[in-house]
Chain A
């Protein structure tokens, strides 16, 4: 029998324990315990999100808050405008999520955000709905008016991780709401904005144009709003042009999102 020093023995025990926990997780044996921990802690997450990320500023005083309110109003008007363009029969400007879903014949599951990414380089949120409610990986996440905020990258029975559209790894096929042939790839830019690349140089695109989903990504219907063109970059002789987009949502203000579970 090998007589190991106590500290080495402790390290071996700890290492074995870590390996066992990780292995059991991937084998699914820890699921009941994990579900219990998630259920126990989710109310704290919902509460902190609701308190710390209100949709409407709680204390609207002073010029800074007036400016923020004006920005919010501009974003709401842009969303309303895009709805009228993208929806076939949307004669009225619906701002509520459920009305939008009905108008677009979409079915979705609404979930509360229970936590956000703590990693400095990752932009994602975790919601309290999972595969048990029909959520699938790659499904788009939207907020009021069909504004795309991200896509599901991972889902368990009770929770789902949504990668926000501003994350560098996020990618959607987008098209100008004004010019249906001006298509490109919309990606996140450092968690702050969006970029639309590979737009054919021959296509017309202008600052202020709304970019919507092209409908060519699996599970993502056409006409969901991705952002508004902020800046255009063209180079003489190049095949493609690119644009910088302004996302029409503020990640810090999100507390409820809808995941589309069925699209036409």
Chain B
């Protein structure tokens, strides 16, 4: 039952990311809520749900993307796995700054992995779109900044609403 709320939110975020965000915002400023949501769930302690969300979310996004199939699936799952490893072994400091740094690192990692996976995927599916175009890095940087801001707001609101401190939210063991 404790997973019902995050699962519902994750499902809603997935649908919004695929169908709503591309319609209402500038592509350059699209916050791309799925990656920060998965990272948030991971960093707040539910590794299994984050991995499951990455699998299902990546699969669904790939079905509606012109990039080679697997680009998002591989990128999301690898990001969650890598971020989890970094949080356990490298960045053991549980400060808010460390948390935001990880989110930022995770979103950049997602972009890099999508880039690599989409190029490798074009070997299997040459007709698929390529993500590289003039100024692609500009869009990436903008969305990464936006995602970090979004997650900072979400964490701030969560801490305020739950009445807990940030340290108790992320003091769990992975």
Number of chain A residues whose Cβ lies closer than 8 Å to a Cβ of chain B: 43
Cα A45 to Cα B17 in complex, Å, equals 11
A163 partner residues in chain B, CB cutoff 8 A: 66, 129
Chain A residues contacting B125 (CB-CB under 8 Å) are 26, 154
* A21 touches B (CB below 8 Å): yes
- Is B102 in the interface zone, CB < 8 Å from A? no
- Given A22-B74, A26-B124, answer yes or no on A120-B27 (Cβ-Cβ < 8 Å): yes
A44 and B81 CA atoms in complex are apart in Å by: 31
Taking residues whose C-beta sits less than 8 angstroms from the other chain, chain B's interface range is: 35 or more
Residue of B nearest to A51 (CB): B23
Cα-based distance from A69 to B132 in the complex (angstroms): 35
Is A25 at the interface (CB under 8 A from chain B)?
yes
A25 to B23, CA, bound (A): 28
Residues of B within 8 A of A14 (CB): 51, 55, 77, 81
B60 within 8 A of A: yes
Asked whether B73 lies within 8 Å of A120 as measured between CB atoms, the reply is no
Binds B, one of A70-78, A94-102, A111-119, A232-240: A111-119
In the complex, A222 has a CB within 8 A of chain B: no
Q: With A and B bound together, what is the CA distance between A17 and B51 in angstroms?
A: 11
Stretch at the interface among B37-45, B92-100, B138-146, B158-166: B138-146
Q: Does A218 contact B (CB under 8 A)?
A: no
| A residues 124-173 touching B (CB-CB < 8 Å) | 124, 126, 137, 153-154, 161, 163, 167-169
CA of A38 to CA of B63, assembled, Å? 7
Judge if B24 is at the interface, Cβ distance under 8 Å.
yes
Chain A nearest CB from B141 CB (Å) reads 10
- Interface membership of chain B positions 50-65, coded 1 if the CB is closer than 8 angstroms to chain A and 0 otherwise: 0100010001110111
Q: Please name 19 further chain A to chain B contacts, defined as beta carbons within 8 Å, in addition to the given A120-B143, A122-B131, sorted by A numbering.
A: A17-B55, A18-B73, A18-B74, A21-B55, A22-B73, A26-B124, A38-B64, A41-B64, A49-B19, A115-B22, A121-B133, A122-B67, A122-B129, A124-B129, A154-B128, A163-B129, A167-B133, A169-B129, A191-B27
